[in-house]
Amino acid sequence: MIMSQTQAIIVDNVSKKFQTSLLKPLLALNQVSFLVPRGEVFGFLGPNGAGKTTLIKIIVGILKADHGKCFIVDSQGIPIESFKRKAKLKLGYLPERPYFHDFLTTTEFLLFHGRLMGLPDDEIYAKIPGLLEKVGLSASRHQKLRTFSKGMLQRIGFAQTLLHDPDVLVLDEPMSGLDPVGRREIRDIITQISQTGKTIFFSTHIIHDVEVICTTVGFVQNGSLKGAGNIEFLLGKTLKSMEVRYSLPEKMGPILSPLLSASRKTMDGWALDIESTPDELEKKINEILSLILQQKGIIKSVSPRKSTLEDIFFEGSKASLSGVQK
Amino acid sequence: MKKEVLKLFKQIGAIAIVTFHELIREKILWSSFLFGILCVGLAYAVSQLSFVESARIALSFGLTAVSIVGGLISVVMGASLIAKEVQNRTLYLVLTKSVWRWQLVLGRYLGLCGVLVLNTACMIFILFVVFLFLGGSFQIQFLQCLLLQLIELGILSSIACIFSAFTTPTLAAVFTLGIWVIGHAMEGFQIVVKKAEISGLLNGVLNILIQVLPDLTRFDVKAQIAHTLPLTWLYTMHTVFYGVSYIVFALVLSCFIFSKRDL
């Protein structure tokens, strides 16, 4: 495991079992290892029950791993074990559902969490207006949390994560259960926070959220990491096919050549999807383009068709991610 | 170092304040409190049945009511003190802050103690108003009685805390209630064990139980108060020391159990 200043979170060979029955323990995490780069938005994808929340609990120090360790790397590049108090000072955590002391008002809630972080009261009071402004809750300063909608609870949850200005934010399914407007608001807050240079690690099973805001991603399934890496890299690596659009001279059709026989008719000519392994794709395209030109055809466009994260998640995750950072 | 210790106490204080806020809103507290006030009223009614010593009868009846109501609040609220935080999952956010688990246990316990002190003080105050109204006069023993009553509630809450650290609120309440009852029958229990002349393993187990379970009869000074029997400060302080030691032991145990628990 490489440790450097460019990492924010290090998950090193983490395994966790739960004794759900006397005879057969449940293996929630099985030797999971990956790195979260500093300053990036890391999406932790996996179906329900895959082990996302368990790993998050280990990262934020609520649970201890049976094997392996999680580290939070400070700005000097020194890794600190995640259950240590010093590591918690670097972390902000938003749980899956906003389970807060709902009898408190917004101000009381932030004051409580600020005090738990050891901040002086005057510093907390000074920070509150700015934080509420940031999450769009300035008008609800004296409102009790029990009167809040779920979206508002998530936003006040964000405010408490930022109270002590942590380097790393760990968000457990921050957008689950929200309506489209609420999801958009939370997405905007995450984007806004990520622009300040903070590292954001969030779990979700909603692929679209990851595609929109994440720069890196990790996939977990049945407690095992299937892969992790840069989204662009993952999608590039799993190039699915190329589409060639072309036209041929009058009275000539693609039927003349076996290579072009799979073409389909379009409004202004023909289109052909070329599927192959990444290594052979280039060679095959060159052959097809040469053939079209030989037949005095016109090439209108050649466009790559990459896999989406959804494709990787549902079909190819296991195979296509092999070789990516594990 | 000093700053760090101060920070630890400030964090415990923050948890205690929120716990106090939380518990003071509980319906069970208010209904128990009202029940206590009703009992004090009943004490007044009962005292009217007697032509002599009506103030002492009211006091005796009232102190018993205050003790039972306080005990019930300790058992019910103490049993859910940590378990409820786990069930409601509100502790996740707290534990991800730079807070030790023992700080959470201690903070929650102190919050409950605050509620118990307030509740008992209110009920005792009303009882003494009734007592003075019936012609009784203030004695210093009242304060000793209040102190011992509070320590007993502290012991019960700390025991509830132990169970709350690893089981459900209902089971924790049942276990604590059992210990409360046994604790008040401890004197009789000790005599029975001595006189029964049990030998072997059972005797060993019973003697360990006698040592481990709290002797709550020490805190019951209602008879001394009601009948103006002597109650020395030496006895009071000795009993307070016993109670505080027991509370410390119970809290250390609950902190240890809770720190080992997978959440």
Encode pLDDT of B205-263 as tens digits: 888 888 889 999 999 888 888 777 888 899 999 999 999 999 999 999 999 999 988 77
Residue pair B67/B100 in contact by the 8 Å Cβ criterion: no
pLDDT-derived band at B61, boundaries 50, 70, 90? confident
The CA distances from residue A135 to A155, A163, A199, B70, in Å, are: 6, 12, 18, 44
Which residues in chain B have Cβ-Cβ distances shorter than 8 Å to A100? 90, 93
- Of all helices (H) and strands (E), which one includes residue A205? none
> So what's the pLDDT on residue A184?
85
Q: Is residue B142 pLDDT above 70, yes or no?
A: yes
Q: Do A99 and B97 touch (CB under 8 A)?
A: no
pLDDT at A318: 47
pLDDT of residue B72: 92
Which residues of A lie closer than 8 Å to B, measured between beta carbons? 18, 57, 60-64, 85-86, 88-89, 91, 93, 95, 97, 99-101, 103-104, 112-113, 115-118, 160
Nearest neighbour of B11 by CB, restricted to A93, A95, A118: A118
| Cross-chain residue pair B18–A85, CB shorter than 8 Å | no
Residue B28 Cα distances to A55, A111, A183, B31, B33, angstroms: 38, 27, 39, 5, 8
Give B104's contacts in chain A (Cβ within 8 Å). none
Best to test chain B binding among A62, A82, A102, A121 (most B CBs inside 10 Å): A62
Is B104:B188 a contact under the CB 8 Å cutoff? no
Tell me which chain A residues have a C-beta less than 8 angstroms from the C-beta of B93.
Answer: 93, 95, 99-100, 113, 160
Written as one string, the DSSP assignment of A123-166 is HHHHHHHHHHHHTT-GGGTT-BGGG--HHHHHHHHHHHHHTT--
Determine whether the interchain pair B22/A117 forms a contact, defined as Cβ–Cβ distance below 8 Å.
Answer: no
Q: Indicate the average pLDDT of chain A.
A: 83
Best of B94, B97, B106 to disrupt the A interface by mutation (most A CBs within 10 Å)? B97
The dihedral region occupied by A206, where left means phi > 0, alpha psi between -120 and 50, and beta the remainder, is: beta
pTM for the full predicted model = 0.82
What per-residue confidence (pLDDT) applies to B239? 95
Q: Return the pLDDT at A325.
A: 45
Q: What's the ipTM?
A: 0.85
**Least Cα separation, residue A186 to chain B (angstroms):** 19
Q: What angle do CA A154, A119, A188 make, to 5 degrees?
A: 25
Question: Do A313 and A223 touch, CB atoms closer than 8 A?
Answer: no
B135 confidence band (pLDDT: 50, 70, 90) = confident
Containing A284, the helix (H) or strand (E) segment is: helix A278-294
Which residue out of B93, B95, B100, B262 would a mutagenesis test of the A interface target, given it has the greatest number of A Cβ atoms within 10 Å? B93
Tokens 């730079």 — which residue? B98
Which tokens is A53 given?
Answer: 């929340």
Split at pLDDT 50, 70, 90, the class of A205 is confident
Hey, are the CB atoms on B92 and A62 less than 8 Å from each other?
Answer: yes
- Cβ A61–B95 below 8 Å, yes or no? yes
Tokens of B241: 């020391």
Q: Put the strands of the sheet holding A239-247 in their side by side order.
A: A264-266, A269-275, A239-247, A298-306
Chain B residue nearest residue A82, CA to CA? B96
pLDDT band at B170, cuts 50/70/90? Answer: very high
As a whole number of angstroms, the longest Cα–Cα distance in chain A is 83
Mean pLDDT score, B183-190: 85
In the predicted model, is pLDDT for residue A320 greater than 60? no
Contact check, Cβ <8 Å, B98/A117: yes
Tell me the C-alpha distance between A305 and A193, whole Å: 32
Distance from B245 to chain A by nearest Cα, in Å? Answer: 28
Greatest mean pLDDT range, A143-152, B103-112, B230-239: B103-112
- pLDDT, mean over chain B: 88
The edge-to-edge listing of strands for the beta sheet with A216-221 is: A91-94, A168-172, A199-204, A41-45, A216-221, A224-230
pLDDT at A2: 53
Query: Which residue among A88, A101, A118 places its CB closest to the CB of B90?
Result: A101
pLDDT of the residue at A255: 59
Residues with Cβ within 8 Å of residue B87, at least 6 apart in sequence: B169
- Any bridge partners for residue A105, and if so which? A144
Q: A315: pLDDT confidence band, cut at 50, 70 and 90?
A: low
Identify which of B25, B88, B94 has the shortest CB distance to residue A116: B94
* pLDDT of A326: 41
B262 interaction partners in chain A (CB closer than 8 Å): 18, 63-64
How far away is chain B from the Cα of A243, in angstroms, using its nearest Cα? Answer: 50
- pLDDT of B186 reads 84
pLDDT at A5: 64
The helix/strand/coil state of A260 is: helix
Average pLDDT of the segment spanning A58-84: 88
B193 contact partners, CB below 8 Å, separation of at least 6: B203, B206, B207, B210
Residue A319 binned pLDDT confidence (cut-offs 50, 70, 90): very low
Residue bearing the bigger pLDDT, B104 or B50: B104
Find the residue in A nearest to B98 (Cα): A85
Residue B257 CA to residue B196 CA, distance in Å, equals 35
Q: Give per-residue pLDDT as tens, B14-25.
A: 999 999 999 988
**Rounded to whole angstroms, how far apart are CA atoms B104 and B16?**
9
**Residue A254 pLDDT level (bands cut at 50, 70, 90):** low
Nearest to B153 by CA among B249, B62, B66: B66
Mean pLDDT within B190-214? 82
Size of interface A-B (CB pairs under 8 A): 68
pLDDT top residue among B65 and A321:
B65
Q: What is the mean pLDDT of residues A139-152?
A: 89
- pLDDT higher than 50, residue B86: yes
Closest-CA distance of chain A to residue B12, Å = 8
Q: Which whole number is the average pLDDT over A189-218?
A: 86
A253 contacts: CB under 8 Å, gap ≥ 6: none
Mean pLDDT in residue range A37-43: 91
- Range A2-21 average pLDDT: 81
Reference A274, options A306, A240, A245, A241; nearest CA is A241
SS3 sequence of chain B: CHHHHHHHHHHHHHHHHHHHHHHHCCHHHHHHHHHHHHHHHHHHHHHCCCCCCHHHHHHHHHHHHHHHHHHHHHHHHHHCCCHHHHHHCHHHHHHCCCCCHHHHHHHHHHHHHHHHHHHHHHHHHHHHHHHHHCCCCCCCHHHHHHHHHHHHHHHHHHHHHHHHCCCCHHHHHHHHHHHHHHHHCHHHHHHHHHHHCCCCHHHHHHHHHHHHCCCHHHHCCHHHHHCCCCCCHHHHHHHHHHHHHHHHHHHHHHHHHHHHCCC
pLDDT value, residue B114: 94
Residues 6+ positions from B10 with CB-CB distance below 8 Å: A115, A118
Provide the pLDDT for residue A226: 82
pLDDT over 70, % of chain B: 99
**Predicted local distance difference test score (pLDDT) of residue A322:** 43
Asked if the model's pLDDT at residue A279 lies above 80, the reply is no
Residue A97 burial (10 A CB sphere; 0-12, 13-18, 19+)? middle
Give which of A59, A247, A262, A254 is closest to A169, Cα–Cα. A59
